[in-house]
């Protein structure tokens, strides 16, 4: 039997749950278990960590499951990092996955999450191009929250949100960029849509 399937069934994990936990799609798990595709090096390491076995055992290169393995399973859940978020495409369906990040299980229990890679200079000096923000999906935020916002069908932007009477400001950290004011009419017509609240910044050096 395929080692990935055997480990999953021994752990009593449905394919869908395993896919969510390590940040891939369910058909990908099916392909691995059927032998149609092999996991990438990074995904093999995720799976090995998740099940607490060695990569060589996972890939059928060793009969000893714990030789060189981490002796405990992953403490978190892997989420996809998106390079871009475009209008009209549900986040779950976006193919522009550039990486994965692991978040603690306690955080994962509080909602649905994705990562977004920062592009541009508008959030300097706090956030720079290449940094990753961890985002909890939600369609509203509180005054002062940092959010991922989709404006006028363009790619998503990361900005601080200031709520004012009959509208919102999207405020960059970089003072070379002006805040953007959107009235309630703008929010409805453009539209301006909150995709999620930024919960964590992971700076990349």
CA distance 141 to 111: 14
Dihedrals phi, psi of 38, to nearest 5 degrees: -105, 145
Compute the distance between CA of residue 42 and CA of residue 48 in angstroms, rounded to an integer.
10
180-183 vs 192-202, strand pairing mode: unpaired
Coil vs helix vs strand at 59: coil
- Whether 122 is catalytic is yes
Please give the DSSP secondary-structure letter assigned to residue 80: E
- The one catalytic residue in 30, 122, 137, 204 is 122
Task: State the catalytic residue, choosing from 3, 159, 183, 193.
Answer: 159
- Helix/strand/coil percent split, the chain, to 5: 25, 30, 45
Cα dihedral 86/91/95/97 (nearest 10): 100
204 is catalytic: no
Catalytic residue annotation: 122, 159
């Amino acid at each position: 039997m395929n080692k990935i399937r055997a480990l999953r069934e021994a752990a009593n994990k449905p394919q869908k749950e395993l896919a969510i936990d390590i940040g891939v799609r369910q058909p990908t798990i099916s392909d691995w278990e059927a032998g149609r595709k092999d996991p990438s090096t990074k995904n093999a390491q995720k799976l090995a960590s998740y099940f607490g076995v060695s990569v060589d055992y996972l890939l059928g290169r060793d009969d000893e499951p714990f030789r060189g393995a981490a002796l405990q399973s992953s403490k978190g859940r892997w989420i996809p990092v998106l390079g871009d978020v475009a209008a009209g495409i549900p986040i779950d369906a976006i193919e522009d996955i550039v990486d994965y990040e692991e978040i603690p299980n306690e955080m994962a229990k509080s909602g649905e999450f994705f990562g977004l890679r920062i592009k541009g200079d508008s959030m300097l000096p706090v956030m720079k191009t290449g940094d990753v923000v961890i985002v909890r999906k939600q369609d509203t935020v509180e005054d002062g929250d940092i959010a991922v916002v989709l404006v006028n069908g363009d790619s998503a932007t990361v900005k601080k949100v200031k709520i004012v009477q009959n509208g919102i400001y999207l405020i960059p950290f970089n003072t070379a960029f002006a805040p953007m004011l959107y009235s309630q009419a703008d929010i409805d017509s453009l539209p301006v849509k909150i995709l999620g609240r930024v919960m964590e910044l992971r700076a990349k050096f």
